[in-house]
């Protein structure tokens, strides 16, 4: 460059350019030190800035999901605590019920235990109804499940149990009473209305607890339910469930125009006194069958239409001079004009906690008469709309019902059900804890990646700032010198 030209001061222009570069570096390092971030906007590094923003989104999403998982875990912990308390109540209920069966207790003492049991059952139901989240009950069957978000687009569905007494099968019969017969002169007579006979198919079911088998002591049997001519050794009728007067035999008998045929089983081999049993006899037009506690025990070939007659249906009555009245308890009596399937029979038996056939959709329309022994007078009310009401003669109502909590299968089912629910909730809590730990690890990893890309290294940037500031000072001095250089031209005009 020629120093004697003043229209273009290229020295100063070069110095100014370098000063601007240095000023930019100073500003950049000052921004990094003041914000703590190496990348403050997209112009610093567009690609890296995009990666950082994605990391921020992931970290914030994980935080929200982690909070949801933690809330879900707290919710399940609350449910677990409620069910643990219910398990303790259930254990106490079983203890009291076993205590009630002691022969040394008076009826008043047993009534006091019943009152305590009912109080504990009410408390169990209160726990189920009061265990709520955001105003919604979680353990009374009104809500079947909840969803907890455990990842982006990933939900964990938690099935909610019904731990009310009915949901657990505790005292869930539609009735709370049975009929007690003393073996002397108690029976029930039921109106016919001409539709309890003359059928091509038939099912008769009832729950029975024998106090004794007549044939064992006095060579006399008893009638559980029958539609036969009374007081006649050569009985004629439609159907009957009875024990034999001269042998160890329980029979379900059907009479058609082709005669009488019965399904027979040994009483002592199939039934114990003092225990509830579900008895069911059915006729399908080709066979007579008997089921005890849901299992087929006997069958016999038979054909024809069940005979019609004007004999009343009777429960617990004697049939002839060499038989006696029934001695024991009877509940859940049904007459159905349909031959039930095996699955329907199993449903009615319900593991020792018998259901009303009116509750089964496939059976309810075929129920001609059903009795759950409720009431307080001498009328036995038909629970269908057919009005086959009966008159109670001598028999009394008892609070001893099938399916009570001393029944082994019911007790085990309830206990296993509660334990299963607790195990399920416990496993879900463990899964949520694992999810929470995973989310924390993922967040830490994402934060480490973001930090390595975005955060300022203060030692390095402080060093670079000092270097840039020194260069800034030297660039300023160079610019000043470059601006004064053209003054040399003035010496050419000196005299």
- Secondary structure (DSSP) of 168-181: TTSS--S-S-EEEE
Contact 99, 110 (CB under 8 A): no
Phi and psi angles of residue 298, each rounded to the nearest 5 degrees, phi first: -160, 155
- CB distance 51 to 417 below 8 Å: no
- Residue 172: per-residue pLDDT: 45
Residue 440: phi and psi, rounded to 5, are -65, -45
Q: Give the closest residue to 432 by CA, choosing from 151, 227, 202, 134.
A: 151
So what's the pLDDT on residue 43? 67
**What is the per-residue pLDDT for 312?**
85
Domain end call among 351, 381, 402: 402
CATH number of residue 320's parent domain: 2.60.120.200
* DSSP letter string, 92-141: HHHHHHHHHT-TTS-HHHHHHHHHHHHHHHHHHHHHHHH-EETTEESSBS
| Residue 239 lies inside a defined structural domain of this protein | yes
Which pLDDT score is estimated for 84?
93
What gap in Å lies between CA 237 and CA 306, rounded to an integer? 9
Which CATH number fits the domain that encloses residue 77?
1.20.1330.10
Phi, psi of 143 (to 5 degrees): -125, 125
Q: Are residues 368 and 421 in the same domain?
A: no
* Per-residue model confidence (pLDDT) at position 433: 87
In angstroms, the CA 91 to CA 308 distance is 52
Sites in the chain below the pLDDT cut of 70: 1-6, 40-46, 101-103, 107, 169, 171-175, 193-194, 214-220, 230-234, 319-323, 404-411, 452, 454-455, 457, 461, 494-495
Do 64 and 141 reside in the same domain of the chain?
Answer: yes
What was the pLDDT predicted at 408?
53
Q: What is the pLDDT of residue 381?
A: 93
- Say what the pLDDT of residue 2 is: 60
Q: Of 343, 375, 402, which one is at a domain's C-terminal end?
A: 402
Domain match, 278 and 350 both: yes
Please indicate, yes or no, whether residues 380 and 301 belong to a single structural domain of this protein. yes
Q: Give CA–CA dist 152/394, Å, rounded.
A: 70
The kind and range of the H/E element at 34 are helix 10-35
- State whether 364 and 267 are in the same domain: yes
Are 136 and 189 part of one and the same domain? no
Q: Are residues 347 and 376 in the same domain?
A: yes
Query: Would residue 363 count as lying in a domain?
Result: yes
Coil, helix or strand at residue 247: coil
Task: Determine contact, residues 363/344, Cβ cutoff 8 Å.
Answer: yes
83 and 147 share a domain?
yes
292: enclosing H helix or E strand: strand 287-292
Does the residue 2 lie in any domain? no
The answer to whether position 12 is within a domain reads no
Cα 413 from Cα 84, distance rounded (Å): 17
CA distance linking residue 61 with residue 493, whole number of Å: 77
In this structure, are residues 241 and 281 in contact, taking their beta carbons and an 8 Å threshold?
yes
d(CA 296, CA 286): 16
Residue 136: closest CA among 86, 79, 88: 79
Structural domain contains residue 20: no
Which of 402, 426, 458 marks a domain boundary? 402
The answer to the question of residue 44 being in a domain is no
Residue 460 lies in a domain: no
User: 216 and 334, same structural domain?
Assistant: yes
- Whether 158 and 233 map to the same domain: the answer is no
Q: How many domains does the chain have?
A: 2
Shared-domain flag, residues 107 and 247: no
Which pLDDT belongs to residue 107?
65
* The dihedral sign for the CA sequence 399, 402, 407, 413: negative
Spatial contact of 207 and 276, defined as CB atoms under 8 Å apart: yes
pLDDT at residue number 370: 94
Regarding whether 150 and 216 lie in a shared domain, the answer is no
Task: Write the pLDDT tens digit of every residue in 137-169.
Answer: 999 888 888 888 887 778 888 889 888 887 786
Q: What is the rounded distance in angstroms from the CA atom of residue 230 to the CA atom of residue 320?
A: 6
Domain span at residue 142 reads 56-170+412-442
Query: Domain for residue 361, yes or no?
Result: yes
How many whole angstroms separate alpha carbon 125 and alpha carbon 162?
Answer: 10
Q: How would you label 259-295 residue by residue, b for 16+ Cβ within 10 Å and e otherwise? A: ebbbbbbebeebbeeeebbbbbbbbbeebbbbbbbbe
Please tell me what DSSP assigns to residue 356: P
């Amino acid at each position: 460059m020629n120093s004697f030209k003043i229209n273009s001061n290229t020295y100063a222009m070069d110095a100014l350019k370098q000063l601007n570069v240095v000023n930019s570096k100073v500003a950049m390092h000052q921004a990094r030190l003041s914000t703590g971030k190496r990348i403050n906007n997209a112009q610093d590094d567009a690609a890296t800035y995009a990666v950082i923003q994605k990391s921020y989104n992931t970290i914030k999403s994980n935080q929200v999901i982690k909070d949801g998982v933690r809330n879900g875990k707290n919710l399940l912990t609350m449910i677990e605590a409620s069910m643990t308390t219910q398990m303790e109540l259930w254990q106490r209920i079983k203890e009291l019920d076993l205590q009630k069966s002691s022969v040394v207790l008076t009826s008043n003492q047993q009534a006091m235990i019943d009152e305590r049991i009912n109080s504990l059952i009410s408390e169990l139901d209160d726990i189920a109804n009061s265990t709520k989240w955001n105003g919604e009950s979680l353990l009374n069957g009104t809500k079947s499940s909840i969803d907890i978000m455990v990842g982006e687009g990933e939900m964990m569905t938690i099935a909610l149990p019904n731990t009310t007494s009915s949901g657990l099968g505790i005292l869930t019969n539609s009735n709370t009473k049975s009929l007690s017969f003393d073996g002397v002169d108690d029976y029930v007579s039921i109106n016919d209305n001409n539709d309890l006979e003359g059928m091509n198919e038939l099912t008769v079911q009832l729950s029975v607890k024998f106090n004794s088998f007549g044939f064992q002591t006095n060579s006399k049997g008893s009638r559980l339910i029958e539609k036969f001519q009374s007081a006649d050794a050569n009985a004629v009728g439609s159907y009957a469930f009875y024990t034999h007067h001269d042998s160890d035999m329980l029979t379900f008998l059907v009479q058609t125009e082709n005669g009488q045929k019965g399904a027979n089983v040994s009483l002592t081999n199939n039934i114990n006194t003092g225990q509830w049993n579900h008895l069911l006899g059915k006729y399908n037009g080709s066979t007579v069958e008997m089921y005890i506690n849901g299992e087929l025990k006997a069958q016999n070939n038979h054909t024809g239409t069940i005979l019609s007659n004007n004999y009343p249906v009777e429960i617990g009555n004697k049939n002839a001079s060499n038989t006696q009245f029934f001695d024991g308890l009877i509940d859940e009596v049904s007459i159905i004009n349909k031959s039930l399937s095996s699955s329907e029979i199993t449903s009615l038996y319900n593991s020792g906690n018998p259901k009303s056939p009116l509750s089964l959709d496939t059976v309810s329309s075929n129920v001609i008469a059903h009795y759950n022994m409720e009431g307080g007078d001498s009328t036995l009310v038909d629970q269908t709309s057919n009005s086959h009401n009966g008159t109670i003669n001598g028999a009394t109502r008892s609070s001893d019902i099938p399916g009570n909590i001393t029944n082994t299968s019911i007790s085990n089912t309830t206990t296993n059900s509660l334990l299963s629910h607790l195990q399920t909730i416990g496993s879900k809590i463990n899964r949520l804890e694992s999810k929470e730990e995973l989310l924390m690890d993922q967040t830490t990893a994402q934060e480490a990646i973001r930090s390595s890309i975005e955060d300022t290294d203060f030692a390095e940037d402080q060093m670079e700032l000092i270097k840039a500031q020194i260069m800034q000072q030297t660039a300023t001095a160079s610019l000043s010198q470059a601006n004064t250089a053209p003054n040399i031209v003035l010496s050419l005009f000196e005299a």
